[in-house]
Amino acid sequence: MQQPNQISPHVLIFPLPLQGPVNCMLKLAELLCLHQIHVTFLNTEHVQNRLRLHTDTETYFKKYEKCFSFRTVPDGLPEDNPRTGSQIPALLKGLDEVAVPLLREMVTSGELGTESERPLTCIIADGIFTFAVGIAREIGVTLLYFDTISPCGFWTYFCLPKLIEAGELPFKDDDLDVIIKNVPGMEGIIRRRDLPSFCRTKDLNDRIIQLVLKEDEHIPLAQGLIFNTFQELEAPVLAQMLNISPNIYAVGPLHTHAKTRLGEETGVLSERSSSIWKEDRTCISWLDAQPLKSVVYVSIGSLAVMTKDQLLEIWHGLVNSGSRFLWVRRPGSIEGLDDKFEIPLELSQGTKERGCIVDWAPQEEVLSHPSVGGFLTHSGWNSTLESIVEGKPMICWPYFVDQQVNSRYVEEVWKIGLDMKDTCERSIVEKKVREVMDLKKDVFWERARNMAQLAKESVSEGGSSFQDLNRLVEDIKSKYM
């Protein structure tokens, strides 16, 4: 066992076992390793098996052998559970019942326990993991919460008790355009429809609402909060966060941050995939053959689903817009679509001439491709940041959690795209695609380019995220030991 003065920093990172959080926490892990901080990355068996199957992430991290290791726990769900957005409450329950007891044992008496060769000094956990407070206290280590959703979305979560107290929640009627008053810093910006979709319930005992309220109570108990964003993008919201925690670290966009800091080296994870689906790279050669800025990239991420009707509305809209499109249709993401489904005749010609459809794409590479001129997105936070960094304007069709807030910010605050929320009609899809790809292309491109520049500067030497990462590293090495 190490003597106290020999203890070296050892962080346990535990992401919510979903594609987005795993992606960005792996990038944070790599950045910490680069600064000689030992990281144990806790994945669920399901995620780890899929990483093993579809990427070389596990092999890749072998290069950090001395300071990085993976550990796994089961997630408590049957293997055939689709683990889509609607399954998140079940996933959290499974983790609580099955993974948490194993984790507790691992960090108390087990291989990462206080008597082990390299005891933990810090836990970085997803903000929804309220159990982390008890575990960190039990073993006497620092807890930093890393909420991988957007800070603007997170802030609306955090203001939920305030909204309830002020009588703004539940909504008193069905008018979704009423302006929200009790989210400090967002006055005049968000309407009822821009709050996370779970706020639309009439029942405050709703499972998700209760989970978020519990999260709100636990968040201030951590010693600090990490966010995947940069000051220049969300300064007013980040300023509000200082009311919850004195230690706020805005270290994003993490995928660019990792690429920048590790740029000299070959084989940076950020340039590799940490995908849990098999990427279809044929779309890159298809993009290579398309004209500059001519393609709308369409994806609803790893959790969202759409109905068959919505599929057809979006499809007609895309074909009618005359634009070329690369569309990711993740298996299982269209409800009720069976083997008998045939491409409608009126769509087949346009799709054949101007479309490419794949199961899963190397998204960061796609977004950086010169042929891509816009992104029709579900406004997941990773997708939003990836688009911002590449300077690609967005057409937003949010699905759940922070996505309603993100899409509002894209249109109303950052003005780098259009928000299509709560509508899914072919004429609207066509109109928005035409505006972004053609009619207002120059204005959107100019603004998106400026934002991309700010994002890149923030992770360059001396930039805001660069400095926050240094502060995080120093604090983990000293203040939090």
Sites of contact with ligand UDP (CB under 6 A): 18-20, 23, 275, 299, 301-304, 328, 360-361, 363-364, 380-383, 386
Cis peptide before 151 (omega within 30 of 0): no
Nearer to ligand UDP, 37 or 304 (CB): 304
Tokens describing residue 270: 């950020």
Quick one: 149 or 190, whose CB is closer to ligand UDP? 149
Nearest approach in angstroms of CB 439 to ligand UDP is 27
Q: How far is the CB of 357 from ligand UDP (least distance, A)?
A: 11
> Rounded to an integer, what distance in angstroms lies between the CA atom of residue 62 and that of residue 105?
26
The C-alpha angle 453, 413, 165, rounded to 5 degrees, equals: 135
Whichever of 121 and 383 has its CB closer to ligand UDP, that residue is 383
Least CB distance to ligand UDP at residue 478 (A) = 32
| 331 vs 336 by CB, closer to ligand UDP | 331
**Angle in degrees, CA 193, 388, 286, rounded to 5:** 105
19/321 with CB nearer ligand UDP:
19
Q: How far is the CB of 246 from ligand UDP (least distance, A)?
A: 28
Nearest to 345 by CA among 322, 312, 321, 376: 312
Residue whose CB is less far from ligand UDP, 163 or 385: 385
CA neighbor of 157 nearest in space, from 209, 200, 204, 203: 209
Nearer to ligand UDP, 18 or 169 (CB): 18
What's the closest the beta carbon of residue 479 comes to ligand UDP, in angstroms? 30
Nearest position to ligand UDP, beta carbon: 380
At residue 155, what are phi and psi to the nearest 5 degrees?
-65, -35
Residue 409's closest CA among 199, 189, 151, 239?
A: 189
Q: Which is nearer to ligand UDP, 351 or 368 (CB)?
A: 368
H-state helical runs in 96-206: 100-108, 131-139, 151-158, 160-165
Of the pair 25, 180, the CB lying nearest ligand UDP is at 25
Instruction: Say if strands 142-147 and 122-126 run parallel, antiparallel, or are unpaired.
Output: parallel
Least Cβ distance, residue 297 to ligand UDP (angstroms) = 9
373 CB-near residues (< 8 Å, 6+ apart): 292, 293, 294, 295, 296, 323, 392, 393, 436, 437, 441
Q: Which residues contact 252 (CB under 8 A, 6 or more apart)?
A: 24, 227, 228, 229, 230, 385, 458, 459, 465
Specify the residue, 18 or 437, whose C-beta has the smaller distance to ligand UDP. Answer: 18
CB 416 within 8 Å of CB 433: no
| CA atoms 103, 105, 110, 112: torsion sign | positive
Distance CA 153, CA 367 (A): 23
Closest CA relative to residue 82, chosen from 274, 277, 309: 277
Where is 147: in which H helix or E strand?
strand 142-147
Query: Measured from the CB of residue 275, what is the shortest distance to ligand UDP in angstroms?
Result: 5
Minimum Å distance from CB 429 to ligand UDP?
19
The candidate with the shortest Cα–Cα distance to 305, out of 87, 55, 468, is 87
Strands (E), 6-115: 10-14, 38-44, 68-73
Choice between 106 and 361, CB closer to ligand UDP? 361
24 or 469: whose CB is closer to ligand UDP? 24
118-119-125 Cα angle (round to 5): 120
Q: Which is nearer to ligand UDP, 88 or 436 (CB)?
A: 88
Q: How far apart are CA 230 and CA 232, in angstroms?
A: 6
Nearest approach in angstroms of CB 334 to ligand UDP is 14
**Minimum CB distance to ligand UDP, residue 331 (Å):** 11
**Closest CB 68 distance from ligand UDP, rounded Å:** 20
- To the nearest whole angstrom, how small is the minimum distance from the Cβ of residue 323 to ligand UDP? 19
DSSP string, 383-410: HHHHHHHTT--EEE---STTHHHHHHII
Two tokens, residue 442: 């120059």
Smallest gap from residue 261 Cβ to ligand UDP (A):
19
Contact 33/473 with Cβ under 8 angstroms?
no
